[in-house]
Chain A
Amino acid sequence: MHKMYDFDSIVIGGGMIGSSIAFGLAKQDEKVAMIDEGDNALNAARGNFGLIWAQGKGENHPSYADWTLQSVKKWPEFNNELKALTKIDTGFEQKGGFDFCLNQEEFEERIISLKHIAENSNEQFSYKMLDHEELEKKLPKIGPEVFGASYSSWDGHVNPLLLLRSLHQGFQELGGKLLIHSVNDIKYNDSYFSVETKNSVINSNKVILAAGFSNQNLAPKIGLKMSLFPQRGQILVTEKIKPFLDYPTGLIRQTNEGGLLLGDSHEDVGFDDSTSLQTMQQIAQRVTTIFPFLKDVKMIRAWGSLRILTEDRLPIYDYSKTCPGAYTISSHSGVTLSAIHALDIASYIAKDGKLPISLKCFSAERFND
């Protein structure tokens, strides 16, 4: 098989999704090349918060809820494999997590939403609602204005940069080739693909597009379509402080080095990934409402990053009919889904070729008229 092409698979995009799949394929003994644009690419992976989040996902879409839960379940196994291979401690923890409710209305809406997800889930999703008193026992520094929170033992977090580094290192240790180039064209030659960069042409049996926004330009070349929209999220990082937050939450987590990551903002500003004082302030105000003692803690840097969203905020998993062997993958939950991408998706691609019917609902065809 190797004689006809340079590689079994070429993964275009070296971010969270691309590197998870490339790592998974390399583990399946495929000869894999991963092509990434380099330092100035938009790089959603570098702006990631680091949550491995189950609660609240797929409220109106049980298949997505279950897909998420399956990935969350596989995370410990996935992390162990990575650690055994690369020796890197990604800081993975899965002790559960909290999403706060600032008033009764929010609290009651949350109950309805989580109940709905649990009832429609095949994975036995579980959660607990805590009122202020119960919350204070778990998170002693919680502010008086916080009405309560939802907690799920399914939730966890990881250091996203260490995860990315570990995936890249693991990939290369398994024989994978990382190439830093922009992809100009992809040609399907009846049984193999030719990926053209500025200086070279690389041939493979399969090609997987995991290039974030660049997927939009590349997908048509392999007979697929996708529409993606940027949504900006800003994240603040504080100085390192004494550990006080044992659990990740939807908008604050404490890293294993002691710094806090503060976030959960959503803005429609096109492809602008700069920071804005207004949003930084909103994040600071929310966070100091939740943990008032944080008003004396200093922020040392902030950044903006673009989430890659589809119209319905669900992922895209597509397999090309006109160019068999070509796939497109897009999601803004690259960290949560990293496990199932590395384990299941890579396995589907390596073994059967096609994607399972259970993933058909995530085809981009759902956006066609």
Chain B
Amino acid sequence: MIKRIDSQKTEMIKIYFEGELINAHKGQTVASALLEAGVTHFQNTTSRGSQRGPFCMMGVCFDCLVEIDEQPNQQACMVNVYQEMKIRRQTNIFK
């Protein structure tokens, strides 16, 4: 379970994951916002359909791929949240 340990007063940003609203903090990456909201399954691999989520959080592993505003293959740990962002799991990309 991932918990915030210090509450900063930051602007709150509304983002949506699979249609559900998440209140993220300004300056947060998509990966950290989703993890904070309890999301662990970000994508399914194309090779075997295995579930994946963030691993390195620094842009090296490419496991945290999500679809952001209909653009696939976005590294969630490298993109900052912005208002009204619509995020979808990257899954069954061939189906």
- Pick from B46, B71, B72: contact of A257, CB below 8 A: B46
- Whether A258 contacts B71 by the Cβ 8 Å rule is no
Cβ of A296: which chain B residues have Cβ within 8 Å of it? Answer: 71
Contacting residues, chain B, for A242 (C-beta < 8 A): 93-94
Q: Is the CB–CB distance between B73 and A258 below 8 Å?
A: no
In the complex, whether B8 has a CB less than 8 A from a CB of chain A is no
Evaluate contact between B71 and A241: CB separation under 8 angstroms: no
A residues less than 8 Å from B71 (CB atoms): 296
Chain A residues closer than 8 Å to B73, beta-carbon distance: 239-241, 298
Q: Is A140 an interface residue (CB 8 A)?
A: no
* A243 contacts partner chain B, Cβ-Cβ < 8 Å: yes
- Could you say which of A239, A258, A298 contacts B94, with CB atoms under 8 Å apart? A258
Q: Does B50 touch A at the CB level, under 8 Å?
A: no
Task: Give min CB distance, A22 to chain B, whole Å.
Answer: 30
In the assembly, what is the distance between CA of A298 and CA of B75, in Å? 12
Interface residues in A248-283 by Cβ distance below 8 A to B read 257-258
Write the chain A residue with the least CB distance to B73: A239
Which secondary structure characterizes the binding site on chain B? Answer: loop
Q: Which residues of B contact A258 (CB under 8 A)?
A: 46, 93-94
Classify chain B: how many residues form its interface, as a range: under 10
Contact across chains for B47 and A241 when beta carbons are under 8 A apart: no
Q: Which of A26-46 contact B (CB under 8 A)?
A: none
Contact mask for chain A residues 297-328; partner B; CB cutoff 8 A; 1 contact, 0 none: 01000000000000000000000000000000
- Render A203-247 as a binary contact track against B, CB cut-off 8 A, 1 for contact: 000000000000000000000000000000000000111110000
- Tell me, in angstroms, the Cα distance from A258 to B93 when the chains sit together: 8
B9 to chain A, nearest CB (A): 37
Bound-complex Cα distance A258 to B73 (A):
13
Give A288 Cβ to nearest chain B Cβ, in Å.
Answer: 16
Chain B hits for A298, CB < 8 A: 73
Question: Min CB distance, B95 to chain A, in Å?
Answer: 9
CA A122 – CA B72 in complex, angstroms? 48
> CA of A242 to CA of B46 in the docked complex: distance in angstroms?
10
Closest chain A CB from B94 CB (angstroms): 6
A307–B51 Cα gap in the complex (Å)?
40
- Chain A residues near B93: list those with CB within 8 A: 240-242, 258
How many Å from the CB of A170 to the closest CB on chain B?
24
B19 to chain A, nearest CB (A): 20
B46 partner residues in chain A, CB cutoff 8 A = 240, 257-258
Query: A257 CA to B72 CA in the complex, in Å?
Result: 15
With A and B bound together, what is the CA distance between A257 and B46 in angstroms?
7
Interface 1/0 per residue, A10-38 and B, CB below 8 Å: 00000000000000000000000000000
A156 to B39, CA, bound (A): 42
Shortest distance from the beta carbon of A253 to any chain B beta carbon, whole Å? 15
Most buried by B among A240, A243, A258: A240
Give chain A nearest CB distance to B54 CB in angstroms. Answer: 18
Nearest chain A residue, comparing its CB with the CB of B92:
A242
B contact residues around A240 at 8 Å (CB): 46, 73, 93-94
Contacts of A241 in B (CB 8 A): 72-73, 93
Interface residues of A (CB under 8 A from B): 239-243, 257-258, 296, 298
Q: List 17 A-B contacts (CB under 8 A).
A: A239-B72, A239-B73, A240-B46, A240-B73, A240-B93, A240-B94, A241-B72, A241-B73, A242-B93, A242-B94, A243-B94, A257-B46, A257-B47, A258-B46, A258-B93, A258-B94, A298-B73
Interface, chain B (partner A; CB < 8 A) = 46-47, 71-73, 93-94
Known: A241-B72, A243-B94. 17 other contacts (CB 8 A): A239-B72, A239-B73, A240-B46, A240-B73, A240-B93, A240-B94, A241-B73, A241-B93, A242-B93, A242-B94, A257-B46, A257-B47, A258-B46, A258-B93, A258-B94, A296-B71, A298-B73
The 6 closest A-B pairs by CB, nearest first: A239-B73, A240-B46, A258-B94, A258-B46, A242-B93, A243-B94
